[in-house]
Structure 1
Amino acid sequence: MPAARPAPLAVLAACLTLATNVAWAQASKLPITAEQRRVADQVASAGVPLSELAPNAPDSHTVVAGDTLWDISKLFLKSPWRWPELWGMNRDQIRNPHLIYPGQVLMLVKSDGRARLQVGQSVGGANGTVKLSPQMRISALENGAIPSIPMHLIQAFLTDAVVFDTDELARAPRVVAAQEGRVLVGSGDLAYARGDFGSNTDFRVFRKTRPLIDPTTKEVLGYEAPYVGTAELIRPGEERPSPDGKSMEVVPATLKIQQIKQEVGVGDRLAPAPQRDLEQYMPHAPEREIKGQIAAIYGEAMQAGQNQIVALNRGKRDGIERGHVFALWRNGESVMDKTERPEGQLIKLPDERHGVLFVFEVYERVSYALIISVKEPVKAGDRFTQP
């Protein structure tokens, strides 16, 4: 029995994944940029050229738990960051890429040198036949919609890491003593601090900041603060007359240490805990040319590989956005050409593209990116360009 042919687009429109009003309202808050829509509109009517498909693009793919839009794009397209084109293959059905769910079947339909995706449901059949059937699915966004990239790789970082435009932590409240005279304290212990706490009660604790330096201009781009943990202010400090009434004595504020990444020590600084936006991140190319360099590897490492974090020497002021994708380049080596003369001639080999970066956090002059793929170790000073 031959496999069933995909139904006409007009019929397949009934296969839309329908979310509740709440789910759609939530989805509408997720970032879909003008550039993403432009690309999707561009390919929606005609599809994608077959030359842009991955060499082993499958005829169909059933979305499973753990999939990401990046994973699915990688199955069908040569460049997974070009997800808007995958979405645009059938804009009528994939109205919102944030609302693709496990269990949906994506069918790759090829005709006249073009390719489109159609959405259906695997209903079984003889000899592995896959059919497309009208399907209504009502589901809240947070109940299974697949993410854009593997969020577990960056979620902890979004909570922990921060860059300050100035070295404001030098003037922030500081831990001055620990419970029972200890040098370091852990979760549940008390610590004592001095400084201006304002009206805040929840704080993140940081160790001494390190400046992020532009590899070329040597400009200080910001101050990266190593995260230590969190603390709650349970009793404010005060100044009160000494028992003899001849002077004032300082009583520091009391903190209770909450979650920790490492033990809190005297000298650590406190900053109010902000509200973090753990929104979906949709890969897309910058609308204009942006290039720069790796400013630093996050943490103590000198080099980084796949799924590690790097700081870029470009930020909001340079047009960087969350979701931007960049190509990583390896500098060409200098070698001696001895093919024409015995003494040789020093030449520089061409730079080679060897990886992909995905920006997920942006500050004024610096941003953080996840290394999605890479062939060789990445180090500070390596450059990035348009993808």
Structure 2
Amino acid sequence: MNKAEIKNPHWIYPGDVIMLDYVNGKPRLKIGKSVGSTGNGRLQPKVYSEAVQQIVPSIPPNAIEPFLSQPLVIEPGAHDNIARIIASQEDRVFMGSGDTAYVTGIPDTSVVNWNIFRPGKALKDPDTGEVLGHEAFFLGNARLLEPGEPASVKITIAKQEIGRGDRLLPTPLAEIVAYVPHRPEQDVSGKIIAIYGGANEGGTSSVITINRGTHDAFEVGHVVALYRNRLSIGYDEKGKRVSTPIPEERYALAFIFRVFDRVSYALVVQSEKSVMIGDSLRNP
């Protein structure tokens, strides 16, 4: 309807003023003259740029996507109440993709898809010694073939070897997490209690476990700063061991991407030195 006024829509440029009016009751578009334009009412394409101060680096999706749907923390005492592999096809010691496993704790077909994991070490609060949960190492996925005692499942994906005693949890529904990095609105604090994968030290892109969760007002998207408190160990003139406190040093930023009741997982997005278990964290 506007070919007479705008002969080619590819010739509409940034800066043009497009006017909509009515002629004889019919809508009509036309290009008007913009401020500072040339005589033909058209600005030429230009590139506009401005400096952007990026305080928090962008989050690489592939660094945290595997953690968003996999079981990571099992509440204390919950291991005995979930499904468990009790036998394997042809009495194999370990199983992989395509193998059949026999599981106790799946009486019906209400859940078809399952995550397989292996209970890991206890996660303890370094200040109180309380067990906050048990880390769970993701092993793969399984699909229910036949319920019962035992039920039979087919292993569809095996990230590691799967064997007797490994546990199963229902696969959670896919969830789109809108993780927007932001400062905590109130004062928060905590400590690093583990580095995922069993490492003693980490760095940028490492996943760390924190002894705080939703119970302590932590939420997905919080950005926290990591601090190191350490002692300098030496000896005096008499050979006596002396510990000298070193001033606290901020050295990294971490982004919290998954939160449980008493435990959270964070990705180290920026670090000037090695991340170590026992380091503290709080508002940036």
1:169 shift after superposition? 2.5
Q: Aligned residue for 2:162?
A: 264
AA aligned opposite 2:188 = I
Q: Aligned residue for 2:265?
A: 368
Q: Which of 198, 206, 211 lines up with 1:313 in the alignment?
A: 211
Q: Tell me how far apart the structure 2 counterparts of residues 317 and 164 of structure 1 sit (CA, whole Å).
A: 16
Is the CA contact (8 Å cut-off) linking 1:149 and 1:281 kept in structure 2?
no
Residue 356 (1) aligns with residue 253 (2): yes
Q: Tell me how far apart the structure 2 counterparts of residues 165 and 342 of structure 1 sit (CA, whole Å).
A: 50
SS in 1 for 2:68: helix
Q: Tell me how far apart the structure 2 counterparts of residues 77 and 328 of structure 1 sit (CA, whole Å).
A: 21
1:161 shift after superposition? 3.7
Is the CA contact (8 Å cut-off) linking 1:337 and 1:347 kept in structure 2?
no
Residue 186 (1) aligns with residue 96 (2): yes
1:326 shift after superposition? 0.6
% identical aligned pairs = 40
SS in 2 for 1:170: helix
Is the CA contact (8 Å cut-off) linking 1:155 and 1:278 kept in structure 2?
no
Residue 149 (1) aligns with residue 59 (2): yes
Distance 1:155 1:317, change over 3 A: same
Is the CA contact (8 Å cut-off) linking 1:169 and 1:270 kept in structure 2?
no
Q: Tell me how far apart the structure 2 counterparts of residues 262 and 346 of structure 1 sit (CA, whole Å).
A: 44
Deviations 1:260-282 (A, max 9, x none): 11121011111111114232311
Q: Tell me how far apart the structure 2 counterparts of residues 78 and 333 of structure 1 sit (CA, whole Å).
A: 34
Q: Aligned residue for 2:56?
A: 80
**Runs of 5+ unmatched residues, structure 1:** 1-10, 15-58, 62-74, 82-147, 239-251
Q: Aligned residue for 1:45?
A: none
1:78 shift after superposition? 6.5
RMSD of the TM alignment (CA)? 2.6
Q: Aligned residue for 2:77?
A: 167
List structure 1 runs of 4+ shifted beyond 4 angstroms: 335-338, 341-346
Aligned pairs (5 A) from 1:54-203: 60=49, 76-77=52-53, 79-80=55-56, 149-198=59-108, 199-203=110-114
AA aligned opposite 1:364 = D
1:352 shift after superposition? 0.7
1:337 shift after superposition? 9.7
Q: Tell me how far apart the structure 2 counterparts of residues 266 and 214 of structure 1 sit (CA, whole Å).
A: 30
Deviations 1:49-89 (A, max 9, x none): xxxxxxxxxx937xxxxxxxxxxxxx7326337xxxxxxxx
Q: Which has the larger radius of gyration?
A: 2
Q: Aligned residue for 1:29?
A: none
AA aligned opposite 2:132 = L
Residue 347 (1) aligns with residue 241 (2): no
Q: Tell me how far apart the structure 1 counterparts of residues 283 and 262 of structure 2 sit (CA, whole Å).
A: 18
Q: Tell me how far apart the structure 1 counterparts of residues 251 and 207 of structure 2 sit (CA, whole Å).
A: 16
AA aligned opposite 1:366 = V
Is the CA contact (8 Å cut-off) linking 1:296 and 1:312 kept in structure 2?
yes
> TM-score normalised to the size of structure 1?
0.57
Q: Tell me how far apart the structure 2 counterparts of residues 231 and 343 of structure 1 sit (CA, whole Å).
A: 61
SS in 2 for 1:154: helix
Q: Tell me how far apart the structure 2 counterparts of residues 332 and 289 of structure 1 sit (CA, whole Å).
A: 23
Is the CA contact (8 Å cut-off) linking 1:169 and 1:271 kept in structure 2?
no
SS in 1 for 2:69: helix
Distance 1:337 1:210, change over 3 A: closer
Q: Aligned residue for 1:330?
A: 228
Distance 1:336 1:207, change over 3 A: closer
AA aligned opposite 1:60 = S
Compare the two structures and name the one with the higher helix fraction. Answer: 1
Q: Aligned residue for 2:279?
A: 382
Is the CA contact (8 Å cut-off) linking 1:173 and 1:197 kept in structure 2?
no
Count of aligned pairs: 238
SS in 1 for 2:119: coil
Is the CA contact (8 Å cut-off) linking 2:59 and 2:269 kept in structure 1?
no
Q: Aligned residue for 1:222?
A: 133
Q: Aligned residue for 1:237?
A: 148
Distance 1:78 1:166, change over 3 A: same
Q: Tell me how far apart the structure 2 counterparts of residues 347 and 379 of structure 1 sit (CA, whole Å).
A: 19
Is the CA contact (8 Å cut-off) linking 1:359 and 1:367 kept in structure 2?
yes
1:310 shift after superposition? 0.6
Q: Tell me how far apart the structure 1 counterparts of residues 61 and 77 of structure 2 sit (CA, whole Å).
A: 30
SS in 1 for 2:266: strand
1:325 shift after superposition? 0.5
Q: Aligned residue for 2:116?
A: 205
AA aligned opposite 1:311 = T
